[in-house]
Structure 1
């Protein structure tokens, strides 16, 4: 972890900046909301956060590439290497727009296409989660108030708390029946959605979190946190990491069972 300690410290600084911007605009009467080509909303807070983080990274890590949800990819300065910061300025924008406090800024560092640092900051919840490869996973209000987190030891689906995204998304990928069967087989089901289900998984509060259609900025920060907390994170084909456009995150003990019930054949 020593090689990424400075990067994790920088991620906390970036999150502090993001929190100050997003918190000030949350529930603002003059919040400006527009619609992107994919029909999802974007607010002036989304764009302001991403611009601020990109500006800091351009000064602090000029040789690193940057990928963000709102402004795409930015190439590194000449002589840059294999590192890329991945930013979702506000994950849960629909919640943010409606005044629901479950939203967060997601910050990740990829090295050779592997997520090595992840931080999720949810200021309206007063909580932050972070991890670095080989360092462990932590949660707290800020870095100075860190508590180690760990996934649950639940080993039977009948005892598991199962978290998911909207059912319509599973219908779109042709997996609604399998999804409903999986839900019926679980002890408890809740649609916490977005980043929050994965963070509850990393803390051991839920045991499974699944989503069928996602982008890299939705996932990159989550993988180190879940993995360092002792969990397992793959796409629906069982491929590890955030690159597959879908997510199956579990406490590890339930992973094969979940994939057998809802997974996709590798392409």
Structure 2
């Protein structure tokens, strides 16, 4: 399987998404509605997913497509998993920390991942066996890898929304991890996992995620030398939670969260 061809396609899909989201970001006529789970969706979310689906229908007609807004199910074989805008709440409030997430999953394992954040001037991408990469604001590209921090008391930790730990896991468990670490922030959503892959921080934990939130994250972090699991320790992007790390700290962090 030549993943470099699929990675090139994923990067082109991200270019198309960026052209839509960049035009709609901070638009005065942005249309926002609320889904049944009370999360917001904008006209840009729908436009991006529809555009990417159309491109995939032409480029990969035999592949399955799963998206946050239009649904679908990833089964055996090849599935493209899409989050048109991860960080929609940031997007609709004018905060630039949001991204389009595109992953190719083959037989249940993410093999290609692209995370594109045009308002931040950043993009991250990876494919199995091809390493993890990023582009900076000046357009330069570099290969990335996780940190070498091996003591939890020296670790830098991030999460998304502390309230989610009350409803879906344990606030006390997360605070145990916070107290064990050197520093903590809430960078949130995709960005914190990209920072783990870059080695800027060492741990990122979320009590609740959807598959489209983390399929691209898994291949990025693992190709950067890190580790990706659900909070139960299983390396499965569909389990509904996530812990990413530099690998060295993963067992200790899991034990504090259990």
Tell me the TM-score normalized by structure 2: 0.97
Aligned-pair distance for 1:219?
0.8
Aligned-pair distance for 1:73?
1.1
**TM alignment of 1:39-188, pairs within 5 A:** 39-73=38-72, 82-141=77-136, 145-188=140-183
Q: Secondary structure at the match of 1:73?
A: coil
Superposed CA deviations along residues 47-101 of structure 1, whole A, max 9, x for unmatched, are 000000000000000000000000001799xxxx710000000000000000000
Aligned-pair distance for 1:254?
0.3
- Runs (5+) with no aligned partner, structure 2: none
Aligned-pair distance for 1:253?
0.3
- 1:247 and 2:247 are equivalent in the alignment: no
d(CA) in 1 for partners of 2:247, 2:176 = 20
In the alignment of these two chains, the number of paired residues is 257
Question: Residue 21 of structure 1 aligns with which residue?
Answer: 20
d(CA) in 2 for partners of 1:174, 1:190 = 19
d(CA) in 1 for partners of 2:197, 2:236 = 15
- 1:238 and 2:233 are equivalent in the alignment: yes
d(CA) in 1 for partners of 2:70, 2:211 = 14
Question: Residue 205 of structure 2 aligns with which residue?
Answer: 210
d(CA) in 2 for partners of 1:12, 1:4 = 12
Tell me the TM-score normalized by structure 1: 0.93
d(CA) in 1 for partners of 2:107, 2:136 = 30
Question: Residue 184 of structure 2 aligns with which residue?
Answer: 189
Aligned-pair distance for 1:141?
4.8
- Runs (5+) with no aligned partner, structure 1: none
Aligned-pair distance for 1:146?
2.2
**Alpha-carbon distance change, 47 to 251 in structure 1, aligned in 2, over 3 angstroms:** same
